[in-house]
């Protein structure tokens, strides 16, 4: 074998074995790279939807996963409801996905409030779930909700007004996205679930895979046969053209004390669950799902993170 040919084979081997290859192969993309044993279900956070007018909540992510062999479903749970309420909706949807595919379980990849929603499902129906992955997950609540709760005390006129507005907005939102619950949207319910106190109560009921320390970075990787992973980021203003970034900079400066790392919506300490992958991406809360419309900074495109994680699940036999 010539020296030139040996060099070419060595280079191809290196590309095939390094994570930086990101499923690139010399004769085209590896269409089995994200081909997991169990279907992937993407679970959104507050104002969750699958798509509205052709725009996905997980912007461009599901299609990219499918390009690399994954079987992906984009769930559509209530936009404004509690973790448990949304979790029960998700259980029904998972059962439908399993009936269609013939699979035994699903892999849940969840953003924001989708994380506790998915954790609830894994806790009460572990037979349906192979893994839960928390992406910028709301696992310990947020100081933003605490601030809003302080401005709109429970049982006050402000809360009633917020619920009335949320009911109208939620009905329109659910109708636009084909959501399951147009008639029962509640700002006060989702606010209570998102405060640090509300999430602390939730975590007492469903502690699976949560780090035991308040800012612990690692929890149990496997609980009741369900594997848990997480990743997150601490970017806030990552793209001058993205209006979400300006909103987060303006609003969150009043909620998070100086020195507290966060993604514009959630504190870093609340993003950890199960086995940590990486939590210092320069992504803000919206960047994690590639919004607004893919406007981000120079950090790794989240498409790559989801795709690589699907390969991680595949290699784990999931």
Listed by start position, the domains of the chain span 23-315
Please say if 285 is a catalytic residue: yes
- Give pLDDT, residue 267: 95
Residues in Cβ contact with 267 at an 8 Å cutoff, skipping those fewer than 6 apart: 140, 142, 143, 256, 260, 261
Tokens representing 234 are 């601490």
- In this structure, the chain runs to a length of 318
Point out the catalytic residue in the list 75, 78, 82, 112.
Answer: 112
* pLDDT lower than 50: segments of the chain: 1-22
Point out the catalytic residue in the list 22, 136, 285, 309.
Answer: 285
- Give pLDDT, residue 61: 97
Residues in Cβ contact with 161 at an 8 Å cutoff, skipping those fewer than 6 apart: none
Q: CATH assignment of 23-315, given 3.40.50.1220, 3.40.50.2020, 3.40.50.1820, 3.20.20.370?
A: 3.40.50.1820
Point out the catalytic residue in the list 56, 263, 287, 301.
Answer: 263
- Give pLDDT, residue 1: 47
**Cα–Cα–Cα angle for 53, 59, 61, nearest 5°?**
130
Rounded distance between C-alpha atoms, residue 81 and residue 71, angstroms: 28
Rounded distance between C-alpha atoms, residue 123 and residue 252, angstroms: 32
Please say if 112 is a catalytic residue: yes
- Lookup result for tokens 């595949």: 314
* pTM (two decimals): 0.88
Please say if 263 is a catalytic residue: yes
Rounded distance between C-alpha atoms, residue 189 and residue 159, angstroms: 10
- Give pLDDT, residue 27: 54
- Give pLDDT, residue 200: 96
- Give pLDDT, residue 162: 64
């Amino acid at each position: 074998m010539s020296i030139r040919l040996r060099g070419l084979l060595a280079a191809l081997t290196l590309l095939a074995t390094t994570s930086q290859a990101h499923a690139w192969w010399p004769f085209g993309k590896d269409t089995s790279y994200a081909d997991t044993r169990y279907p992937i279900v993407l679970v959104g956070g507050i104002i969750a939807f699958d798509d509205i007018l052709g725009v996905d909540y997980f912007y461009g992510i599901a299609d990219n996963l499918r390009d690399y062999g994954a079987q992906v479903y984009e769930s559509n749970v209530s936009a404004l409801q509690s973790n448990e309420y949304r979790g029960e909706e998700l259980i029904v949807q998972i059962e439908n996905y399993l009936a269609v595919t013939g699979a035994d379980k699903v892999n849940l990849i969840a953003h924001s409030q989708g994380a506790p929603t998915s954790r609830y499902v894994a806790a009460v129906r572990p037979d349906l779930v192979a893994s839960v992955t928390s992406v910028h997950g709301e696992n310990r609540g947020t100081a933003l909700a605490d601030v809003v709760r302080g401005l709109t005390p429970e049982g006050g006129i402000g809360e009633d007004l917020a619920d009335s507005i949320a009911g109208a907005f939620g009905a329109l939102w659910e109708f636009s996205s084909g959501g399951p619950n147009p008639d029962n949207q509640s700002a006060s319910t989702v606010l209570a679930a998102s405060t640090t106190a509300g999430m602390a109560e939730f975590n007492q009921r469903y502690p699976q895979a949560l780090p035991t320390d308040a800012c612990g970075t690692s929890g149990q990787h496997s609980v009741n046969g369900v594997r848990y992973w997480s990743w997150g980021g601490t970017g806030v203003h990552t793209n001058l053209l993205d209006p979400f970034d300006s909103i987060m900079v303006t609003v969150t400066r009043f909620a998070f004390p100086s020195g507290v790392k966060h993604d514009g919506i959630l504190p870093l300490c609340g993003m950890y669950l199960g086995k940590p992958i990486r939590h210092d991406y320069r992504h803000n809360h919206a960047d994690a799902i590639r919004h607004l419309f893919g406007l981000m900074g120079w950090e790794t495109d989240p498409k790559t993170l989801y795709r690589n994680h699907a390969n991680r699940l595949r290699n784990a036999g999931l």
